[in-house]
Structure 1
């Protein structure tokens, strides 16, 4: 093993960087992946890709303590940690006065690998699909690793990844094209020990909606009483007869990365102390502040000189006891990687998962009878994903019943609850909250409480499976302080509004269960929609209609029958009241 300083010098020269250039560059962690023996349980090896390394001494910090690292031939950093000596936590680089962005390093073993550009092909539906990588879900009465290895030996495959808590293992098949793959998938699926085979269909991150209309981020958030909720948390919690003590909360965001060159995230460089009244963000560094992950995470944690333009959790300082926001996607292996990352995060103590993603089956029709042509997957892939997600939610209910997943309803103007055509929002479980999207109706001069203050966003998926709606639009971050980027709209950006308020609710009352969180959100909700939304046949239900039980059984309450719209302030008020019932 080469000395680290020598390795870094070689790396700098290999990248063509002189000392001055390297020292002037920002120090960033771009990627972290498991490598080496992926099935080792005692020693875990990680490979890191960074930018901006100079020739000065480098410290690799894990949970605030230096760990040994070396350079590989491809220029990456490599570190090996013993599970007994460390815990999962933030990892960052320090070189001189520079600090990199912190990345969450998990010591849990769920990890799947992504296919390279030469290992994918177009299937009959014209979708990008993995040729030689599939995952097998092993029946629960079998030892998953042992059985997957037996199957690998039988079919000449190799076990290359695992989501052990779900008894799911990734195989590299000895195939050259989709015809060979499909034949082998059929044979694997016929094995009595195999519950399902997951065929991955993934391309690059797909762009969601953008809106050219001038809608400032904080103007849209008024519809959910965003600043009213911040005011309540900062001032009213401590003004109670008995001041309410808050608690730290860990939140997981299933996204690729965040741009730490944006002024909104620059304060998160280096270490962060989550036990203090502050928000911490751990993520890989993105190439652009306009990327999806930066916008989603910004709704929770962006920092701004203007309180109304800050992310919700960062605006709650200093009354909070700290929030940790972990942005993690495991790898670029599509839905399978999303599930693997979610399993790791839950095992690392995350209470709330934000899933601003979802897929439709090929052939899904919107409410007008037109085919949806974005974020679609084949029937073969959908059946595998459905089984994998079912295993995840069964495991969640069995092992982590206090965890809640907040999922976007989707932007296909379709029905979110059709289990054959939409995942994962169609799952019926108390641990999954589904979020639709609304936008301001500027043609109506009505107070925020009025149902006509907002209108449903035309593209938002609908129906009884949607629990609540939130503001659809936000503005992207930029590289210049005080300026905002393009407007991004969709259920992806409504979802973190609900994730943020659930995080705040749990910081007030960590004993709340997923079913109770949903009840409080629905009881506190403002309304949207016509006088009665019970007629689903008219395709006008944006959410499940508010029921009499959600309005203290007041049958003449004007809210009954309408769809539910997030009221962040009222949700916090009801959460504070729930502490009295607990006593």
Structure 2
């Protein structure tokens, strides 16, 4: 693979125009890192190269800092807005990277040196298959049996089939190959041959578009207001953490928790994220956000990250973990998707983040197999994939969760149930929410009802019409949130979907871990369900297929009280009660 190196001393017309504007007193373009990708030899781990697109950078001197230390000039090359960085894995470790120039600091983004990376196809390297789904023509991934050396076997097979190894996820023994094919017929023939090799567990065929929405809502959202998050006692939880856990109390010492958010980017020009620029760790107790910069504030990633970390009272979102800053231990929110290579890249990013110390992963994405039906029996038509792609994804996800259980049993993954009015736990038709493992939490969505009842009443909310359901869903949370805006004080538009319910639960789990880092995934689930309020009607454990919103609350989750009114109802997130139970459990342990 040929990689282009950029020269250092050319001044682009756009840059000259920017300098002219600066000289005349106009506002210069802000310094922002918009893209970061591995480049050079993607299989090299000792010295890794990254190619970045940086807006607002001129040809005068600048610094690139990684973990707060400037990188040496000989490890940088610069051509207009393109910068190439070389990093030695022996001399540093994964961490936030940002640019400084003219007393400006860029957004910090996370650079992982763990090495898992896969390539995304260009528009010229995809085609429509027989199901009219966009699919990669010449890029596939091989999951190699665990008793083989993955790197050696991938290289052997590449030589045998005249292919090239171009990407890898070493902890999962998965390697990406570029095949010598020009169309889908040639690809499918070669995939069959590779799949028959005794060393191959599965072949992953990627079906994705470069800019496809990760998880989309299928109907128009209602207006969101404070009552949505009130249904989960959001502000009560923030107030409880602030009052009960300040450092000066001394009886509970909270611990910093790192959260990985599998999203593309965040808009740092919005007031919600404007104060996250540069070295966030100058204040060790504040929440930090590391992400590529987005062009617009209404993107999926900005809204999801905002539920964790948006500034308060700026008119847009209000982040739960940001609300804990005055007493918090210093949460870190890392937003990364590795590349635009679909589900395979999501897993590569997740592996890197876990190896970099993330305890919580937020997966606000999911897919359905062609033929999946909703609760009315109609075929799902959003985020669908072919059978061949689903089988490869299922094997890849299985390898990921087996690795997680074996190597990182304290990590939890929080996944959106989906927005197709379908069944989240149908393993033939929905991924990844259908996996049954203690480390995977599945979140459905609800919205405020028209009933004038107390917040504890099951009728306070109703299921979001589009939300996927069934007993695989662990809990529901508010599906609607205000998005970010570029104008300070302006209220952002409403965004609705299980994508935005998911970070409410993920943020709460991170706060629980900060109180007691020793909590296991099983214990976290017990506390989450014991603290839950209810939603829906009582079904006596025999719900109709259209109405079982979550797994029903059991007597064991209500102190074995067989007559408790919550028994048999579905579970709704109660952030305040769950935090209180976490503190109580820690006090009992002492």
**Cα offsets for 1:275-327 (capped at 9, x unmatched):** 72200000000111000000000011000236995210000111111000000
Q: Are positions 1:440 and 2:440 aligned together?
A: no
In structure 1, the partner of 2:499 is: 492
| C-alpha distance in structure 2 between counterparts of 1:330 and 1:21, whole Å | 35
| C-alpha distance in structure 2 between counterparts of 1:474 and 1:30, whole Å | 25
The answer to whether the 8 A contact 2:375-2:545 is kept is no
Equivalent position to 1:169, from 168, 175, 180 = 175
Aligned to 2:510, what secondary structure does the other structure show? helix
CA, structure 1 residues 64+303, in 2 after alignment: closer, same or farther (shift >3 Å)? same
Q: Are positions 1:151 and 2:160 aligned together?
A: no
| C-alpha distance in structure 2 between counterparts of 1:15 and 1:128, whole Å | 37
| C-alpha distance in structure 1 between counterparts of 2:165 and 2:509, whole Å | 38
| C-alpha distance in structure 1 between counterparts of 2:164 and 2:380, whole Å | 36
The answer to whether the 8 A contact 1:532-1:560 is kept is no
Q: Are positions 1:127 and 2:133 aligned together?
A: yes
Q: Are positions 1:566 and 2:573 aligned together?
A: yes
The answer to whether the 8 A contact 1:12-1:53 is kept is no
Stretch moving more, 505-514 or 530-539: 530-539
Q: Are positions 1:474 and 2:478 aligned together?
A: no
Equivalent position to 1:363, from 365, 371, 374 = 371
In structure 2, the partner of 1:249 is: 257
Aligned to 2:97, what secondary structure does the other structure show? strand
Equivalent position to 2:585, from 557, 578, 581 = 578
Q: Are positions 1:521 and 2:525 aligned together?
A: no
In structure 2, the partner of 1:505 is: 512
In structure 1, the partner of 2:63 is: 59
In structure 1, the partner of 2:188 is: 182
In structure 1, the partner of 2:35 is: 31
Query: How much does 1:475 deviate?
Result: 1.4
In structure 2, the partner of 1:97 is: 103
**Cα offsets for 1:124-152 (capped at 9, x unmatched):** 11100000000000000000000000000
Matches within 5 A, 1:322-361: 322-361=330-369
**Cα offsets for 1:488-516 (capped at 9, x unmatched):** 10100000000110010011011101111
| C-alpha distance in structure 2 between counterparts of 1:444 and 1:366, whole Å | 27
Query: How much does 1:240 deviate?
Result: 11
| C-alpha distance in structure 2 between counterparts of 1:110 and 1:242, whole Å | 40
What are structure 2's unaligned runs of at least 5 residues? Answer: 1-5
In structure 1, the partner of 2:198 is: 192
CA, structure 1 residues 242+84, in 2 after alignment: closer, same or farther (shift >3 Å)? closer
Aligned to 2:204, what secondary structure does the other structure show? strand
Stretch moving more, 481-490 or 199-208: 199-208
Q: Are positions 1:258 and 2:262 aligned together?
A: no
The answer to whether the 8 A contact 2:316-2:482 is kept is no
Aligned to 2:86, what secondary structure does the other structure show? strand
The answer to whether the 8 A contact 1:91-1:102 is kept is yes
Query: How much does 1:239 deviate?
Result: 10
| C-alpha distance in structure 2 between counterparts of 1:469 and 1:447, whole Å | 18
Equivalent position to 2:117, from 105, 108, 111 = 111
| C-alpha distance in structure 2 between counterparts of 1:306 and 1:470, whole Å | 23
The answer to whether the 8 A contact 2:272-2:317 is kept is no
Equivalent position to 2:295, from 276, 287, 290 = 287
In structure 2, the partner of 1:3 is: none
CA, structure 1 residues 153+306, in 2 after alignment: closer, same or farther (shift >3 Å)? closer
How many residues are matched?
576
Query: How much does 1:38 deviate?
Result: 1.2
Q: Are positions 1:136 and 2:145 aligned together?
A: no
What are structure 1's unaligned runs of at least 5 residues? Answer: 1-5
Stretch moving more, 176-185 or 270-279: 270-279
| C-alpha distance in structure 1 between counterparts of 2:282 and 2:262, whole Å | 20
The answer to whether the 8 A contact 1:281-1:327 is kept is yes
| C-alpha distance in structure 2 between counterparts of 1:308 and 1:270, whole Å | 22
| C-alpha distance in structure 1 between counterparts of 2:138 and 2:550, whole Å | 41
**Cα offsets for 1:326-363 (capped at 9, x unmatched):** 00000000000000000000000000000000000011
Stretch moving more, 45-54 or 205-214: 205-214
Stretch moving more, 55-64 or 111-120: 55-64
| C-alpha distance in structure 2 between counterparts of 1:174 and 1:267, whole Å | 48
Aligned to 1:273, what secondary structure does the other structure show? helix
Aligned to 2:303, what secondary structure does the other structure show? helix
The answer to whether the 8 A contact 1:161-1:170 is kept is yes
Aligned to 2:127, what secondary structure does the other structure show? strand
Matches within 5 A, 1:345-424: 345-424=353-432
CA, structure 1 residues 274+313, in 2 after alignment: closer, same or farther (shift >3 Å)? farther
Aligned to 2:281, what secondary structure does the other structure show? coil
Aligned to 1:184, what secondary structure does the other structure show? helix
Query: How much does 1:211 deviate?
Result: 3.9
Q: Are positions 1:215 and 2:224 aligned together?
A: yes
Equivalent position to 2:278, from 243, 265, 270 = 270
| C-alpha distance in structure 1 between counterparts of 2:84 and 2:250, whole Å | 51
Query: How much does 1:580 deviate?
Result: 1.9
| C-alpha distance in structure 2 between counterparts of 1:530 and 1:483, whole Å | 38
CA, structure 1 residues 12+152, in 2 after alignment: closer, same or farther (shift >3 Å)? same
| C-alpha distance in structure 1 between counterparts of 2:244 and 2:522, whole Å | 26
Query: How much does 1:14 deviate?
Result: 6.7
| C-alpha distance in structure 2 between counterparts of 1:481 and 1:252, whole Å | 27
Query: How much does 1:57 deviate?
Result: 1.3
Equivalent position to 2:542, from 528, 532, 535 = 535
Query: How much does 1:81 deviate?
Result: 1.2
Matches within 5 A, 1:429-468: 429-441=437-449, 443-468=450-475
The answer to whether the 8 A contact 2:317-2:492 is kept is no
| C-alpha distance in structure 2 between counterparts of 1:308 and 1:36, whole Å | 40
Aligned to 1:497, what secondary structure does the other structure show? helix
Stretch moving more, 372-381 or 14-23: 14-23
Q: What is the TM-score when the length of structure 1 is the normalising length? A: 0.96
The answer to whether the 8 A contact 1:534-1:541 is kept is no
